[in-house]
Amino acid sequence: MSSKRFRGAGVALALTFGLLAGCSAGEGVAVDGGQTGAGGILTAAISGEPDQLDPHHTSAYPSFQVLENVYDTLVEPDANLAMKPALATEWTTSDDQLTWTFTIREEVTFSDGSPLTAEDVVYSYNRIIDEELNAAYRFATVESVTAPDPGTVVVQLTAPTPNLLASLGGFKGMAIVKKSNVESGAAKTEPIGSGPFAVSSYRAGDSTKLVRNDNYWGTKPKLDGVTFTFVQDPTVALQNLRGGEVQWTDNLPPQQVSALRADDDLVVRSAASSDYWYLALNQARKPYDDVNVRRAIAFALDRAAITKAAKFGLATVNQTAIPKDSAYYYDYTPYQQDLAQAKKLLAEAGGTDLTMDLMVTNEYPETVTAAQVIAAQLKEIGITVKIRTLDFAQWLDEQGKGNFDSFMLGWLGNIDPDEFYYAQHHSAGTFNFHGYRNPAVDNLLDQARTETDQAARKQQYEQAAKQIVDDASYLYLYNPDVVQGWSPQVSGYEVRADRAIRFRDVDLAQ
């Protein structure tokens, strides 16, 4: 059903960047920062504006930038994206892998002082499942969520799910919310979470202000508050950072980053993200059903050049999906640009004078830029690329209908290898719009999905990845870097591969 597809896409691209400012939801009560104490208030410039602040309803990255500091999940990824205790202090798994029992941290309260118990966890998860909200797919194997007592949550599964923790804690779209706050509709503008900060005001087109949550269960944040302002233009964001109006931004002009790294007045750091960008060829259409045509195109691409144009080098070229820093990284690079080889493969496949439609979207300008480089490169082997630039909604529609020869897009915010491969390359995968079918890969992905032995699981994913790359199901291009800059006054901040921005351990020298 198309509705499913849209919903799924919303999740896949949960972290959409650059959603333009516009209208946001309502005015909060402005709490005067009056008590500027030791930590002070950090102002962070982000490039987009939250559309709303209900974590289960939004899919906009700017919303999650704010909500990361407001909400908690049962578990949460540490710096290496390994799942660590958060609201759950510990958990056990039954022998058949079908029952997970979580112990909920004691004496946790929401920022309004009311207690957070297992009931809240059950309510939050069932809300996502019952209302089929964005993250519902993460509960695909969940049969029930129950709270036998206020300190325990039991998750019952229909099949072993080794990546359950990543599903439950991967991002704040799985946040534990407060029933009354959500049901009154207030969560859209005045969300109440249990995280280190609480939203104090939300002004459309301007800023969102957070104050320290003095009821926070963890180490109390040093900052008195965080103010998120929306600055669309990276040049302006940089100027604001230099001028001291803001102390942190993730919106630096990409072409200046290498120069900025050497600048003593700023701290610029980056981390390889777990996002990846790729080119997909429609295997339901001739001649792209021919693996040799796909491989020819793979050999014609100069990934370094594409990366340089699309990201000014702020990315790592990769021929598989999973980035280098991940435990699941698989070093496999069969394609180096080789025009002779590409032409030979193309000729063997009988593909001459090919005109290829390449669908990209304004929503992600890097696809538009990269497409122009790809077009120039494919011209070298006699393929004429017609670039089609669409609105994202239209783009998704065309993708769903299979109306394309090829498209370029990215997958953002994946953590577990299952998220990287299953939906995209399994013949029954929800996002297999390019029509890839390989029974061997299906088998491997099905197996790995429920494989509880980590070593065996890793090996299965490597085999699957190799086959996917050899078949050129996706032509993987690069993993972008997360680049953020801040003032030297800021201490305790770390750039994270999952693009979550956490200010709870940050201090601000005066």
Partner 1 sequence: MSGNGDSTSRRALVALGRDPLAVTGGVVLVLLVVAGLAGSWLAPAGINEVNVDRMLQPPSWAHPFGTDEIGRDVLSRVLVAARVSLEVGAVSVGIALLVGVTLGLFAGYYQGWLDNILMRCMDVLFAFPVLLLAVAIVAVLGPGLRTAMVAIGVVYTPIFARVTRAGVLSVREQVFVRAAVATGASDLRIMRRHVLPNIAAPLIVQTSLSLAFAILSEAALSFLGLGVPPPEPAWGRMLYDGRGFVTEAWWLGFFPGAAIFLTVLAFNLVGDALRDVLDPRQLTVSEARRHAG
Partner 2 sequence: MTRFLLRRLLQSGIVLLGVTLVVFLLLQLVPGDPVRVALGTRFDPETYEALRSRAGLDQPLPVQYASYVGQALTGDLGVSFRSGRPVTAIVLERLPATLSLAITAVVFALLVAFPLGVLSALRSGSVFDHAARVFSQFGVSVPDFWMGIMGILLFAGVLGWFPPSGYVALTEDPVGWASHVFLPAVTIGLVTASILTRFIRSSVLEVLAEDYVRTAEAKGLPTRVVVVRHVLRNALIPVVTVVAVQLASLLGGVIVIEVLFAWPGVGRLTYDAVQARDYPVLQGAILLVAALFLLVNLLVDLLYARLDPRIRVR
**Burial of 502 from C-beta contacts in 10 A (0-12 / 13-18 / 19+):** middle
The span of 92-100, 248-256, 263-271, 398-406 binding partner 1 (CB under 8 A) equals: 248-256
Binding mask 2-41 for partner 2 (x = CB under 8 A): -x--xx-xx--x--x--xxxxxxxx---------------
Nearer to partner 1, 212 or 388 (CB): 388
Q: What is the residue whose two structure tokens read 């000014």?
A: 312
For residues 373-412, which are near partner 2 according to CB under 8 A? 391-394, 396-397
Beta strand spans in 164-224 (E)? 197-203, 207-212
Does the protein bind partner 1 through residue 466 (CB under 8 A)?
no
Q: How far is CA 280 from CA 294, 385, 409, in A?
A: 9, 14, 8
- CB nearer to partner 1: pick between 144 and 394: 394
Can you tell me which residue has the tokens 């979207």? 361
End-to-end alpha-carbon separation of the chain, Å?
A: 55
Q: What x-and-dash track marks residues 194-233 binding partner 1 by CB under 8 A? A: ---------------------------------------x
223-261 as b/e: b if 16+ CB within 10 A = bbbbbbbbbeebeebbebbeeeebbbbbbbebebbeebe
284 binds partner 1 (CB under 8 A): no
What is d(CA 320, CA 336) in angstroms, rounded to the nearest whole number?
13
E strand or H helix at 77: strand 75-77
Residues 6+ apart with CB under 8 A from 378: 297, 300, 301, 356, 384, 385
Among 215, 387, 429, 459, binds partner 1 (CB under 8 A): 387
Closest distance to partner 2 from the beta carbon of 507 (Å): 27
Q: How far is the CB of 258 from partner 1 (least distance, A)?
A: 12
The nearer residue to partner 1, 289 or 302, going by C-beta atoms, is 302
- What does the alpha-carbon distance between residue 4 and residue 431 come to, in Å, rounded to a whole number? 11
Cis peptide before 115 (omega within 30 of 0): no
Residues 6+ apart with CB under 8 A from 250: 46, 47, 65, 482, 483, 484, 485, 501
Count of positions on this chain that bind partner 2 (CB under 8 A): 42
Q: Could you tell me the smallest distance in angstroms from the CB atom of residue 363 to partner 2?
A: 9
One residue of 287, 368, 437, 443 binding partner 1 per CB under 8 A: 368
Residue 37 binds which entry of partner 1, partner 2, none, with Cβ cut-offs from 5 to 8 Å by kind?
none
Question: What's the closest the beta carbon of residue 360 comes to partner 1, in angstroms?
Answer: 9
Nearer Cβ to partner 2 (32/331): 32
Q: How far is CA 116 from CA 179, 211, 216, in A?
A: 10, 20, 11
The answer to whether residues 70 and 273 touch, using CB atoms and an 8 Å cutoff, is no
Rounded Cα distance, 329 and 336, in Å? 19
Instruction: Find the binding residues for partner 2 in span 114-133 (CB under 8 A).
Output: 131-133
Among 266, 317, 347, 375, binds partner 1 (CB under 8 A): 375
| 406-411 and 276-281 strand pairing | antiparallel
The answer to the question of residue 235 lying near partner 1 (CB under 8 A) is yes
User: From partner 1, partner 2, none, which one binds at residue 132 (CB under 5 to 8 Å depending on kind)?
Assistant: partner 2
Q: Where do contacts with partner 1 occur on this chain (CB under 8 A)?
A: 233-235, 253, 255-256, 305, 308-309, 362, 368-369, 371-373, 375-377, 387-391, 394
Q: Where do contacts with partner 2 occur on this chain (CB under 8 A)?
A: 3, 6-7, 9-10, 13, 16, 19-26, 51-52, 57-60, 131-134, 188, 204-206, 231-233, 235-236, 239-240, 391-394, 396-397
